[in-house]
Structure 1
Amino acid sequence: MPPEPPRRADSLRIRARLLAEARLVLAETGVPLQLNDLARRAGVGVGTVYRHFATSQALVEALAVVRLEDMLAVARRAAAEADPWAGIVLVLREQVRLEVEYAEVREVLAATYDTHPATSTAKAELEEITTGLLSRAQAAGLVRADLGAGDLRRLMCGVGYAANIGDGDHAALAELYLRVLCAGIKTG
């Protein structure tokens, strides 16, 4: 994703404070983030928030940018796997882990629109890699033929959501649900 344009030191500090506070609010209340409430919590004027983030979605995408880069790094590694099933499991496990740990990832991956072109680019690359892995696995007879990459993405969002609303250890629930899902998509 492209780097942010250079900013003054005080602007960078305010942006960092807004992102840190937004992460807390997102974990507490979910979306949409109320930018007026965020301004109050961060001790800045609402205009300052809007100068940094035009919309709640833009703020959520800014929170998710590092995690999307992490996910893409894992997906690229998975694409290089000789065993397409191992590659698919690697991508699925990473997506579920990030969705369980970071609400912003869950929200960005489930969103039907993006405010920043870099977000769209990252999601498109992830979809392209997943499609390639899925095609290889289907050609090898390892995965159901009636499953598409979009189906897989939506299923992962469902696993992440289910794990987060479950009682108990969310990471353990995510692992259980992922194993069940993998057993359901695998042939033979």
Structure 2
Amino acid sequence: MRADAARNRARVLQVAREQLAAGDDSLMLNAIARLAGVGVGTVYRHFPNRHALLEALLAESFQQLVREAQVAAADEDSLAGLHRLLRFALGRALDDAGFAAVLGSASDADARTSAMKAELDHAVAELLDRARRAGAIRHGIEADDVRRLLCGIEHAVRSGDNDAKYAEIYLDVLLEGLRPPR
């Protein structure tokens, strides 16, 4: 990437972060272009849509989630690692609707996002395999199932009154449901 293109991209990301920090999560690409002092075409060249911009803004957060999953996968107590990872991921998703949208998205705009999701799924698959071998979770649950269920909990909490107590209740229901049938 040329130096001026890199500067423009960084400026667009900075303005988008400022918009989010100010409480505006619309991420209107035309408005961001105007505020960043660049042409609309420049913004669309770097970020063809709002989702692509969200992915770029959340790359660091996703990398942190991947690290958390890798730590959880290495935990001696696989069930405790899974609980900790799910609480971390749900907390992040409830704190940031954009994070939840990218986590739950069936397709990615950027190959780096796809690669991070693959790393995440790999670590979660290792964790689930260890938990299955320990008899802690049922067979047939895969990493993408866990991601979908977690996104469902995030949606359920947001569609209610967004009370954190429901997040804990729903997460406990999920964890209980992951256990092998009695």
| Cross-structure match for 2:19 | 21
| Cross-structure match for 1:183 | 176
- Structure 1 residues 6, 79: CA separation in 2 closer, same or farther (over 3 Å shift)? farther
How far apart, CA to CA, are the structure 2 residues paired with 1:112 and 1:14? 25
Contact between 2:137 and 2:179, CA under 8 Å: does it hold in 1?
yes
How far apart, CA to CA, are the structure 2 residues paired with 1:73 and 1:137? 19
Report the TM-score when normalising by structure 2.
0.84
How many residues end up aligned between the 2 structures? Answer: 178
- Structure 1 residues 144, 160: CA separation in 2 closer, same or farther (over 3 Å shift)? same
| Cross-structure match for 2:82 | 88
| Cross-structure match for 2:29 | 35
Amino acid at match of 1:177: Y
List structure 1 runs of 4+ shifted beyond 6 angstroms: none
Identity of aligned residues (%): 39
How far apart, CA to CA, are the structure 2 residues paired with 1:14 and 1:184? 43
Task: Give the alignment of 1:134-149 within 5 angstroms.
Answer: 134-149=128-143
Which residue of 154, 163, 166 corresponds with 1:160? 154
Contact between 1:134 and 1:143, CA under 8 Å: does it hold in 2?
yes
Contact between 1:137 and 1:143, CA under 8 Å: does it hold in 2?
yes
| Cross-structure match for 2:123 | 129
Amino acid at match of 2:90: V
Contact between 2:12 and 2:32, CA under 8 Å: does it hold in 1?
no
Amino acid at match of 1:16: Q
> Which consecutive unaligned segments of at least 5 residues does structure 2 have?
none
Amino acid at match of 2:103: L
Please report how far the alpha carbon of residue 132 of structure 1 lies from its aligned counterpart in structure 2 after TM superposition. Answer: 1.0
How far apart, CA to CA, are the structure 2 residues paired with 1:82 and 1:153? 22
> Which consecutive unaligned segments of at least 5 residues does structure 1 have?
none
Tell me, what secondary structure is at the counterpart of 2:58? helix
Q: CA RMSD in A?
A: 2.4
Tell me, what secondary structure is at the counterpart of 2:106? coil
Which residue of 67, 78, 81 corresponds with 1:73? 67
Contact between 1:35 and 1:49, CA under 8 Å: does it hold in 2?
yes
Report the TM-score when normalising by structure 1.
0.82
How far apart, CA to CA, are the structure 2 residues paired with 1:45 and 1:6? 16
